[in-house]
Structure 1
Amino acid sequence: MGDALQPAAGRLTLERGSFVPPPGYDDVTNYAYRGPNEVPRLKVHYVPDLDAVGGLDAALKNYQAHVVKFLLAQVESATPAPTQRGDLTTETLVFTFPGTGPNDPYDRYRERCGIGRFPKGAGFQIEYVTSAEDAASEGVFETVLSSVRLVGEAAPGGKAPPGFVRRQAGAVTLAVPVELQPPTSFHFVREEDGSKARLTVAIAGSADDARALLEEHLKGLGIVPEQVAALAQAPAALARAVWKAPRHSSKGDVARTFCHQVKPVKDAHVVVLGEATADWHDRLLGDFDRLIDSSSEGWR
């Protein structure tokens, strides 16, 4: 998609298509872009109200304390004061941390973290992780950090620089190195007074990939193998499947409604999964159908 990325308000635009997330749901997708060996990797977090978490300085200090405690990080640098990058106000943190075991491809890693604030108070955090020896990481990080914009705002310079592609990560867009693969599943949650619904959109390349993804999901719900095979095979998977079953939790078994459907689109298959507490049965199915319908548009 690259420079052609034109996200519309309320629509999540991917590399090959788009869909409309259900209204009233929080986007809890892990927007992580990964290299073939997990590094380099880039994570993006959107913060609707940066002041609600203490502001720019507090957010960076809290993250620094977290990585020192849990990653055994050695801090190399932290900006002494906010830096202005066009309309963005940013602070940065650079640290190294050790690998976690014998299967790690590198003994030591470096993360460059940037936290930014938009003029009206929303913010974001990006985390770019490479091997500690990666000499190009600083330049890549600076390009990514300076490129972050809210959906609907013009990209700096009008297009992504060479070697980068512009991608949407929820409420923001940014320039991402072309070799980093985007996420293939997107998650949305709504909670009110003990009621909860969750919708997931996953993109599979082939019918076999879609079936494997659906089978894994159903097994995770504790569905017996015979039912898994029946639910995941076409043509059943191409129609909306709905069933009720208890979901085990720390509070005991909770009655839930589950649904799923596989929708073929051009050169891909969209797998939509839904789950809700039993009192939101009708709401879930309405939101599910709207999500399925919206995935018809934009695929190429």
Structure 2
Amino acid sequence: MSKSKKNNSASPDEKASDVSAKDLQQRPAGPHKQTLSDSLIETSQDLAVRSFRWYLLFPVLIFALAFVLDKQLFIWRFPDYYLRTASYISYEHKIQLMDEMELYLRIPPDQRKKVLVMFGNSRTTSFNNAYIDANHPDWILYNFSVPGGTADYFCYMLEEFQERNLRPDFVFFAVTPQGMNATPSIAMDEVMLNGLSTGFILRNFTRYNVSDVSNYAAKELFWTYQYRPKLKVILERWKNHSEGARELRYFNAITQYNLLQNRGSVPYGDGNAPEQNPD
């Protein structure tokens, strides 16, 4: 009796081995295919990927391609074949002119001339510093006039003066009244694109028309929309071994030279200068 009880009480390891052997005998021949629950392999991210409409990326790809191709027209010296304005040179020079004036203002007042700053538009850009030198020898003029100069540009430059603690002795404004109307009769985008920082425009966003801001954004992103190259102009400047392009480079070089020599002014050439007698 005791012997039969001993045989019936098998150890757990022996039972496990018996079950494993029994299961193996009942399994069908061939490879065993185990089925996993969908909850273990399916996630919400998988559903999002399958439901995403990949064709929605097509406009984004077109935009990126257009953006890259747009910038190809501005590599090397190719812009010389289609640019029809050099006003950006005057805007770029004003930053250098500010540095020059800052160095001059560091000289003690009793050892330098009084500093006169002029803000204006293309008309005052041609003001000849020789008049100041001849009639007011104790003064020196720094001309910050730019083509299309408007009040927002003057405000931006004065903020730069304040940030640098620049204190000229006198500031003269020759404003463009057409640019101060509720509906300006002059183009505002030239100053916005060439003379103002993006931060300044964002800070004063509510002071601009929606059309001005949208036009600024479009021209800032796509330069061909800003400068609008024309095939007719390109072909014309390509003639005679790029004679037209070389003439534009010469004109730009002369403009830069005059801006440097005359502290921001571009006076008329000899024989074409009108009489200047503000008195």
Which TM-score applies when normalising by structure 1? 0.24
Identify the structure with the greater strand proportion: 1
Identify the structure with the greater helix proportion: 2
Give the greater-gyration-radius structure (CA): 2
Which TM-score applies when normalising by structure 2? 0.25
